[in-house]
Structure 1
Amino acid sequence: MSYCALRAAFDQTGTLPKQLWADRDLDEARHTVDPVHLVRVFGIHPHTAVRYVQAAHPDKALAKIR
């Protein structure tokens, strides 16, 4: 797919690729409480993975990463 076609698709929906990526991460965090899983699947920083899990499961407290 060309850049122009991809850009046109995002312009029509009014979303940015970054927003779509963050939504996918958060959706995966809703299915698991394991930040290590998010790190392995998406290659994100452990602190970011913990933030996603905390946002998806505010009732469950995770230990802080040092």
Structure 2
Amino acid sequence: MTEHAEPTESSELTPEQRLSPTNTHVLRASIVTIDDTETLRECVAYENTHQNREPVLRWISQQAAELRSK
């Protein structure tokens, strides 16, 4: 993001933008801010195709469970 760029709303982030941070705290934070199941599905598909990191898939699954419980 450039100095003058407007912040992107979380719903507008692509799975690649959400899942590319290497810092696990930032990565986890980007997952727990997902508030819809379609975005979670897109992130699972992206992760399965590109990185297939088990902890990330587990965090996404936990977030899906959290959304279902609301």
Q: Quickly name the TM-score band, shorter chain normalised.
A: 0.3 to 0.5
> Which is higher, the Rg of structure 1 or of structure 2?
1
Q: TM-score, normalised by structure 1?
A: 0.33
Which of 1 and 2 has higher RCO (CA within 8 Å, sep 6+)? 2
